[in-house]
Amino acid sequence: MLSKKVEKALNNQIRIEAESSQVYLSMASWAEVKGLEGIAGFMYDHSDEERMHMLKLIKYVNERGGHAQISELKAPKTEFGTFQKMFEELYQHEIFVSKSINDIVHITLEEKDYATHNFLQWYVSEQIEEEALARTILDKISLIGNDKGGLYLFDRDLQQINVESAASNMGGE
């Protein structure tokens, strides 16, 4: 059985994951309109992934005797200036999500809810990967600078990441 404090924290995280999905969906749409197919595909995949994170939390809360709350979401931005700025925002957003997960982990320890603490370790690992990927992408972007050819290759690279991750997900799950 979840304590009210843990349930409230998990419900807040459900909203954060849902809003993350919307943020990446908006980034995908923006990139697609700009003709950046690889970046758009990467963001569409990320949006789906965040929705799966949300669903996993919903099921957990309900299975543990709580009631997962589906709340109103804050509308995401629709303009990002440049693809560089967009990926910087993605990185900052992942840092925010990591902090939120870490805060819940802390609450589970205070509440001596070791089952939820254990459940959240998957999210902790996932956030380490998400932040590392965002940092790697930002490093590649700074190498490109204002080189249009570099942007083209970068967009193609992200398309490959999508294809490879889709292939590994199909084989691995």
Is 32 known as a binding-site position? no
pTM: 0.89
Mean pLDDT over the full length of the chain: 91
Question: What's residue 168's pLDDT?
Answer: 56
Q: How far apart are CA 132 and CA 130, in angstroms?
A: 5
> Judging by beta carbons within 10 Å of its beta carbon (0-12, 13-18, 19+), is residue 137 exposed, middle or buried?
buried
Tally of CB atoms within 10 A around 76: 18
Would you say residue 156 has pLDDT above 80? Answer: yes
Question: What's residue 159's pLDDT?
Answer: 79
pLDDT digits (tens, 9 = 90+) for 97-116: 999 999 999 999 999 999 99
pLDDT digits (tens, 9 = 90+) for 27-75: 999 999 999 999 999 999 999 999 999 999 999 999 999 999 999 999 9
Mean local confidence (pLDDT), 110-123 = 98
Is 53 known as a binding-site position? yes
Would you say residue 88 has pLDDT above 50? Answer: yes
Q: Is the dihedral of CA 39, 28, 74, 126 positive or negative?
A: negative
Pick the CATH number of 4-172 from 3.90.1200.10, 3.50.50.60, 3.40.50.2020, 1.20.1260.10: 1.20.1260.10
Q: How far apart are CA 27 and CA 41, in angstroms?
A: 10
Is 94 known as a binding-site position? yes
Mean local confidence (pLDDT), 103-130 = 97
Question: What's residue 72's pLDDT?
Answer: 96
Q: How far apart are CA 4 and CA 161, in angstroms?
A: 40
DSSP 166: H
Question: What's residue 130's pLDDT?
Answer: 93
Q: Which residue has the tokens 């809810």?
A: 113
Closest to 46 measured CA to CA, from 93, 105, 114? 93
The tokens of 163 are what? 């294809």
Is 127 known as a binding-site position? yes
